[in-house]
Homo-oligomer: A and B are copies of this chain.
């Protein structure tokens, strides 16, 4: 059995027991109805010492009473009751367990003692455990979920998520679809008594529905293993990492959050660079980088063309691009010639290409997208809203700017990021018009950094492929 086959029952369980099922408000309350809705009702069993009925389903008083088939147990009882329940689960012959309850190593010595008891039972019964102190996982491929997210978050996509923190994973899922990001699988790890980030990285590596992986880490459970795993995974798929616990105070916070030892930040920094993983410096970067990776092809080189209707926005993008390792090459004679055709006298045909309030935007866009000496394009739209509002009334803003965008874009086969700085009404309108295929950023600097992240990943990956 491959390591991935060994994790498969977490993502696609044949029979589920919810231990500590509740109908009162709180975590886990929505779980039975959600799983029934998603088609997992046939072999769904609720356990609660009170017995009776819940959600029109019988409630079993003990784990031992749950009928077959049952492959996975979801545990949401209070922490002090968990060790006993784990023994019940082991005795019942269930091998896969997600412990969502909190109050273990992260909560101090008493919690640590409880966690040790679970560890003993795990070894004794040969269990695989996710958690404790997490919200389990989401598999948007088949609809299985232990996370209480909104339905909009369950639309299947190509982004895999690994989050140490349950709440982190949950709030990410709640909002990512609004940024055009859709999830394949998401796993929250909590205190990682067993399943760790490397296990899930390996799983997502082989998962055909996952194209890129986003990871929030407070500390590696096994640094060497993580290094090896990342090196392996990033040969095929980008891995974006947000690592917290950079400062002593941050480290102390992670310790009381998921019981993690964060380690020295500079070691992580060089480890991540070495492995070809992409480090995000903030939550915002993690999300914005993912939008670029999820939708754009990798660039052939690092030569960026910037098109803008505002010189200052072009300059801000230029500074950020150069500081992130990209090049802003001079434009070729051919491209200059094409853009100058029909351009007003005041226009400087350079890179960044500031077309100002002229009608040359589409011409500039086409020329940069087709120029073989430009590997990637950032297209900035920043014009007075009073004018843009008039264009909005014509019904199609993206077409006004880009013409037959999709054809030019597809033929070019190079990454394109759009940046719109304006009233949010226009940003939303434009983003909707462009669709999710090309991300619309609000920050020229972030667009440049995201483009640089694409290039950096591609460069490191190819270098390591050549060396191997």
Q: Is the CB of B167 within 8 A of A218?
A: no
State which size class the interface on A falls in.
35 or more
Name the one of B175, B242, B283 contacting A424, with C-beta atoms under 8 angstroms: B175
Q: Is the CB of A246 within 8 A of B319?
A: yes
Q: Is residue A296 contacting chain B, with contact meaning CB distance below 8 A? A: no
Q: Is the CB of B167 within 8 A of A443?
A: no
Q: Is the CB of B352 within 8 A of A26?
A: no
Q: Is the CB of A174 within 8 A of B423?
A: yes
- Residues 187-208 of chain A, each 1 if its beta carbon lies under 8 Å from chain B, else 0: 0000000000000000000000
Name the one of B148, B284, B312, B322 contacting A446, with C-beta atoms under 8 angstroms: B284
- Residues 134-173 of chain A, each 1 if its beta carbon lies under 8 Å from chain B, else 0: 0000000000000111100000000000011101101100
Q: Is residue A311 contacting chain B, with contact meaning CB distance below 8 A? A: yes
Within 8 A of B (CB), among A425-465: 442-446
Q: Is the CB of A165 within 8 A of B310?
A: yes
Q: Is residue A52 contacting chain B, with contact meaning CB distance below 8 A? A: no
Instruction: For residue A118, give the distance in angstroms from its CB to the closest CB of chain B.
Output: 15
Assuming A313-B168, A356-B102, is B423 touching A178 (CB within 8 A)? yes
Assuming A178-B423, A283-B444, A350-B256, is B345 touching A167 (CB within 8 A)? no
Q: Which of A5-13, A378-386, A400-408 contacts B (4 or more CB under 8 A)?
A: A378-386
Q: Is the CB of A247 within 8 A of B382?
A: no
Assuming A149-B384, A384-B148, is B283 touching A315 (CB within 8 A)? no
- Residues 310-354 of chain A, each 1 if its beta carbon lies under 8 Å from chain B, else 0: 111111101111110000100000000000000001111010101
Instruction: For residue A235, give the distance in angstroms from its CB to the closest CB of chain B.
Output: 28
Name the B residues within 8 Å of A258 (CB-CB).
311
Name the B residues within 8 Å of A313 (CB-CB).
167-168, 171, 283
> What 7 pairs across the A-B complex have the smallest Cβ distances?
A257-B311, A103-B346, A174-B385, A250-B319, A165-B312, A247-B322, A167-B310
4 extra A-B contacts, CB within 8 A, seeds A107-B348, A148-B386, A167-B383 = A167-B384, A250-B318, A257-B312, A284-B445
